[in-house]
Structure 1
């Protein structure tokens, strides 16, 4: 009995051992598969995904704090700072904040403190993306109250950083605003266009004036700090620094004191004053009203500020570059056409009348009586419409148009500023295109000869015309960069005027000031000058007024042109005193 039991027990043990021996290969295979999978995963993570995982680990223990470019300064010709940078506190946000469970609540807190709409904040974060490698700017020019509020929420808002940076500053406020311009943050489309040039989210660029024209020189380059942080995101150490690059400083041809005088003279009169160096076209002043303070763009613009700006009209429109009927200042062109044609030499004398009749239209003398017989000098001094109407009619429309274009009318001057208009010097083709195929008439020529009709010119173009007489017959290109002076003088375009043409016109312009319509230019504080008035009909409003002048008469240093829109009155009574004030500032002895 026991022998049988023993045999059964041995058989059972044998089967168990057999089963165990059979299980070993299976377990081995399973183990190999498991360890093989782990090995393959480790190899995959280390070899194929190694760089990516290392970068993620690096992100968890380091942070990159960007340092925006430092824009170069803008200076006037004497070194006065017109645009620079000032220290300011800015708020930045880590993009990972949007993935935190309390993001919705924190976003609301941030929005309230920084006066940013929650949807705008959300859009900014989404534009950057969750994996954006560095901080994104969300507010500049923080107030003390905003900084304090963010610090009070420091524990909750651990993804928000406050840093000291630089924002654009214009120490002289409104002075030369239309020349200098302002800066503004790039929108999404602009950022996409400029990424290849090194622009980043939250970057700023020049929006107007010199800030825009010389963006590449002024801009500078991005830098940054590499910081070591702990698991809670707190800064432990500075790991490295790449200083932000400083842009170039730009020196302008502008004289800040002459500019200030021009703006003061213009006051609240809608219009413009331009001052040029007639030798090379350097812009000494360019005032325009209404105007604005570019400092407002260094912080978010409130609706109240925007409404206040709009109440003035369009303060961003540079009136120096807008076109208006040049009126009797254009008689310089008409006189040139007459003298150069040979039909009306310097000794020409014509009768002047209450009006001249052309095609049934009466072109009236401004004094309604006529002045009797006149030559070039006296007709310029008293701005006779009928004298120059006869000259224009005699030389013909084509010659008048030709000389207008030689002086630079009907084309951009080439100044660096955006928004310059060409003005208008119409011809037969233009009229047919715009007036149902009606061709050019003699009446159109007579109208043009006195600066009316279709003719339109900018104050800057008129200043170029006066410069051509002052510098003995060269059309200059206006410019704002000081280093361009010599090259621009070399690029002057000769009008090939006869010496007798220049001499006759100069005598006439001197007579304007020495007892003619421009007598109010005379000042004991300036040398003798020469000039020309203009009064343009501008229905249904009051007339526009002009005055252009240069001084000293014998060796001109400066040309000044003043334009007042719908001012009423005459050019000699309204615009000439504005020019005189600028002349007085220019010739005022400099304090050293």
Structure 2
């Protein structure tokens, strides 16, 4: 039977065992100490990070959190309506569906699938969509317009894919509408979204990404009045983008309505008269400079810019004939219409008073150059009236040579040639009235007598726009005042729109008699069924056919309207091609008054 140690008796431990026990206990204390240090370091790191996030980046993180639930929904103002002088709508706004992206709705890396689906439905390159979002910022809390003018098919497709298109919204907004389509397109212009370069220039004026602005015509020049003021809502949304409540709201302020001097019915007549002939027709009131009609062909329909314009579409639009060029504001050799200026310079200089009679020839020879008469024979002795009626080149060549270049240049500029008229269209050219300095700078050659003779018949370096030519005819029609042509209808006294050239009464009477003789006995006698006065012009335009001009005013004894027609490279002569165009517009105006 084994022996059992009595309870309470302690068995002695050996020296070796005691040492082993001490090492075990010591190791345990050391491990606990190390773990404690590590825990303290971890807790300290976490605490430091929390302190950093709260104290250093607290405001930033709070803003991010706010952006995730606060959305700014901008409300674009309704653009002002444009009316003609009788209240007919020329440009207004209509409702259209647009698609927007809310960048902050998901992370930048998750946008690929959304952009891919959106690009396929809208038929827009993915890069174009990404560029718009990048231009704004992927953390922007505002909506970014991706496309306007969605059709029913696109709207349906977007709604079908709604669950796969996070951060995408379809909304209704106003887009520009031109009910008369291409009527007056060069005057009205069109609207479109700001591009990156335009946005950078206009940020200081309160413009933002996605703003629609006037890009041409009065839409551009009267932008500040037509634009209006943005409004919008600030709303709180949940994680799925559903609006929980409206935090604030500002009503958009509509743009100002504008009334133009244009007469829509006369504009239609001018456009129809011009037809598909490359050129321009301008009609204005000679008493105050109000532009009644301004047609240019080729033209375009500004409604196309209410939707997306692809690079291919833009290239096609820029195609044949440069349809965006307003030929009423483009410079061309004015030809014999310019003889009004030459006649004025001759009479007002007193070198060739109103009673002057000069012999005419088959040509004028200056040095080695012969300046020919258009009938190749001359007309015998002529005074101003018959010289204007038959448009004698050698008569007015002698006048120009006699008064000298500086005098002719001076009177050209008094009539308004060589500078912009001041009409509210940025595309206007000032034309060209060359002088000695200009020729030295451009040709390194002195001004010659030949240059003066060329100018006296509206050729050589001289360039004038149809609008400038209309202003010239207005001087004769209104009794010697140079008017400022304008499109914005304002209630001002006539005197505020015109400046006197201080012409002698005899000068004015001679000019009027000469321009009336053009219709009664001269080159425009086939237009005698209309009670007007005027002047034709046929400009050389090598290597192409000649340009045709005609300008006139009516009624000849109490003028109310000036009309100038220009046909580019038409051939055929001014009286034959452009004259009937002027007569038709004048006739329509006079019948309209009855």
Matches within 5 A, 1:177-192: 177-192=185-200
Deviation at 1:229, TM superposition (A): 2.3
2:205 match: 197
Provide the TM-score with structure 1 as the length reference: 0.90
Whether 1:288 and 2:296 are equivalent positions in the alignment is yes
Is 2:108–2:138's contact at 8 Å kept on the other side of the alignment? no
Q: 1:557 aligns with which of 560, 579, 583?
A: 560
- Is 309-318 or 260-269 further displaced after alignment? 309-318
2:24 match: none
Is 1:522–1:580's contact at 8 Å kept on the other side of the alignment? no
1:129 match: 137
Whether 1:64 and 2:72 are equivalent positions in the alignment is yes
Q: 2:525 aligns with which of 495, 519, 523?
A: 519
1:577 match: 580
Matches within 5 A, 1:106-505: 106-302=114-310, 305-437=313-445, 439-483=446-490, 486=492, 489-505=495-511
The count of corresponding residues between Structure 1 and Structure 2 is 583
Is 2:106–2:166's contact at 8 Å kept on the other side of the alignment? no
Deviation at 1:126, TM superposition (A): 1.6
Whether 1:568 and 2:576 are equivalent positions in the alignment is no
Deviation at 1:399, TM superposition (A): 1.2
Map Cα deviations across residues 286-305 of structure 1 (whole Å, 9 max, x no partner). Answer: 11111111111111224664
1:547 match: 550
Three-state SS of the structure 2 residue aligned to 1:486 is coil
Distance in 1 between the 2:252 and 2:550 partners? 48
CA-based RMSD of the aligned residues comes to 3.2
Is 2:280–2:565's contact at 8 Å kept on the other side of the alignment? yes
Deviation at 1:38, TM superposition (A): 8.1
Q: 1:281 to 1:590 in 2, by over 3 A?
A: closer
Deviation at 1:329, TM superposition (A): 0.6
Provide the TM-score with structure 2 as the length reference: 0.90
Whether 1:84 and 2:87 are equivalent positions in the alignment is no
Deviation at 1:532, TM superposition (A): 0.7
Three-state SS of the structure 1 residue aligned to 2:358 is coil
Is 2:106–2:167's contact at 8 Å kept on the other side of the alignment? no
Distance in 2 between the 1:409 and 1:102 partners? 61
Q: 1:106 to 1:510 in 2, by over 3 A?
A: same
Is 1:510–1:530's contact at 8 Å kept on the other side of the alignment? yes
Map Cα deviations across residues 441-487 of structure 1 (whole Å, 9 max, x no partner). Answer: 2222222111112211111111111111111111111111112x626
Distance in 2 between the 1:333 and 1:477 partners? 18
Is 1:279–1:557's contact at 8 Å kept on the other side of the alignment? yes
Q: 1:57 to 1:590 in 2, by over 3 A?
A: farther
Deviation at 1:357, TM superposition (A): 2.1
Distance in 2 between the 1:56 and 1:364 partners? 81
Is 2:104–2:141's contact at 8 Å kept on the other side of the alignment? no
Deviation at 1:235, TM superposition (A): 3.1
1:12 match: none
Distance in 2 between the 1:209 and 1:51 partners? 47
Distance in 2 between the 1:467 and 1:129 partners? 55
Q: Which consecutive unaligned segments of at least 5 residues does structure 2 have? A: 1-5, 14-32
1:21 match: none
Larger Rg: 2
2:17 match: none
Deviation at 1:47, TM superposition (A): 6.3
Distance in 2 between the 1:488 and 1:108 partners? 61
Whether 1:588 and 2:594 are equivalent positions in the alignment is no
Three-state SS of the structure 2 residue aligned to 1:317 is coil
- Is 276-285 or 299-308 further displaced after alignment? 299-308
Q: 1:112 to 1:37 in 2, by over 3 A?
A: closer
Is 2:274–2:280's contact at 8 Å kept on the other side of the alignment? yes
Is 1:257–1:585's contact at 8 Å kept on the other side of the alignment? no
Is 1:271–1:563's contact at 8 Å kept on the other side of the alignment? yes
Is 2:85–2:263's contact at 8 Å kept on the other side of the alignment? yes
